[in-house]
Amino acid sequence: MFRTSRRGAFAFILTGILCLVIASFNVGPSVAAESSVLIEAAKRKINLAGRQRMLSQRIAMQACMAQSGVLVETSLSRGRAAADLFERTMDGLQVGDEEQGLSVETHPEVLSALSKVDGLWQSYLASVDAFLDQPGEGPLRMVHARNGAVLVNMNSAVGVMEGIYGDGLISPEIAGALNIAGRQRMLIMKALKEACMITRGFAAEEDRKALAKTISLFDTSLYKLRQGNVWDQIIAPPSFEIEMQLELVQMIWDWMSPRLEAIADGNSIDTDNLRAMAYHGEVALIEMNTAVWLYEAF
């Protein structure tokens, strides 16, 4: 009687353990899949929020290029496309956009930061629309005056996202690298914008100083991305593809950098050289953007 009872109890316990094991197999993949979806969504938000910084500068750069006689129709078309994409992404970052892979934002801190950008964007967009509808020095001057505030506050919003999504969801090193790599896209457009705006003479000395800082920040950031930086929590290239992509960006930048430095130092630039600079900047942007997407996919 006693032995039968012990055997029954043992069988009962064994059955319970097996049930728990089976249950763990059923639940595990689902939890892992859900976690993976959250991670991918977080990386997408940092990527596209970071892209907004670039778009704010691309719009102003293309407007300046058009006013300077550089591929006028193409520059105007690219400026409009950048403004439309900024608007769509701004909405998607807040309320979600399935086509862009953006989920609805729920963090109050992020929503507050994006709301501030949205207000500044509406003012900037009015200037952009005025220029694109009827290009001229007056509307371009307003574009020159208003793009900076959008950039500064969008950069702050990306920082908020990096802090929130990099806290236990994405490794801080990947979140940091994704942010800095994304910022490089913006710096390429910002450098071209500043080089072009110098020729318009709205605030030439101020733009020269800004250009020198932009060049320096791009240089140091690219070095950190290629080598890694413990203090800034930037991981060294985590894959061979990313390493090679950053090397390609470096090659293009090595052509652009001395020419941009010369402009920052006070040298003039004619339309032909501005056109060549715009071409190389477009190539650099494409290759840097590829690197950012490789970081997101890692």
In the chain (298 residues long), the average pLDDT of successive 10-residue segments reads 47 46 46 69 93 98 99 98 98 97 96 98 98 98 98 97 82 88 98 98 98 99 96 93 98 98 97 97 98 94
- The pLDDT value given to residue 51: 97
Helix axes 2-67, 271-297, angle to 10 degrees: 180
Q: Where are the domains of the chain?
A: 42-297
d(CA 227, CA 223): 6
- The pLDDT value given to residue 33: 53
Contact between residue 217 and residue 85 where contact means Cβ atoms under 8 Å apart: no
Q: What is the pTM of this model?
A: 0.87
d(CA 250, CA 284): 9
Contact between residue 182 and residue 292 where contact means Cβ atoms under 8 Å apart: yes
d(CA 23, CA 245): 44
User: Could you tell me the two tokens for 137?
Assistant: 């020095």
- The pLDDT value given to residue 7: 54
- The pLDDT value given to residue 8: 52
Q: Which residues contact 228 (CB under 8 A, 6 or more apart)?
A: 234, 235, 236, 237
- The pLDDT value given to residue 183: 97
